[in-house]
A = this chain, B = another copy of it.
């Protein structure tokens, strides 16, 4: 996913957040959007992305719709209601993670 192992565990948080903002996205589009938003810092590999999308779909957090565009296949993903709930849950977990890590790494700042 990136050079830093810290990104481990944050892939579904990212996917759900992006899909919560745009109506629908397909896999390749997600990789490009992430690259763009992070100015190349974070590159999502296909080996991580596609299994993650399949799992989110199997868990009922995403719906899928296959379309043929320019003679190429695209699988559009759309977030479900449960997906929205899970997304906001994961976003608050992210905020909590960041606060906790700052308490550990910069205890003086985090007392304020």
Contacts and interface: CB of A to CB of B under 8 A. Distances in A.
Interface stretch (A48-56, A71-79, A90-98): A90-98
A74 B103 CA distance: 27
A78 to B, nearest CB: 19
A41 B100 contact: yes
Interface string A16-59: 01100000000000000010011101100000000000000000
Nearest to A39: B103
Most B CB within 10 A of own CB, among A7, A96, A101: A101
Interface residues of A, number: 29
Q: What is the oligomeric copy number?
A: 2
A94 B101 contact: yes
A10 interface: yes
Nearest to A97: B6
Interface in A88-112: 91, 93-94, 96-98, 100-101, 103-105, 107
Contacts of A68: none
A94 B97 CA distance: 11
Given A9-B9, A14-B101, A17-B105, 18 more contacts: A5-B8, A5-B9, A6-B9, A6-B10, A6-B13, A6-B97, A8-B9, A10-B101, A13-B105, A14-B104, A14-B105, A17-B104, A34-B104, A37-B103, A37-B104, A94-B101, A94-B105, A98-B101
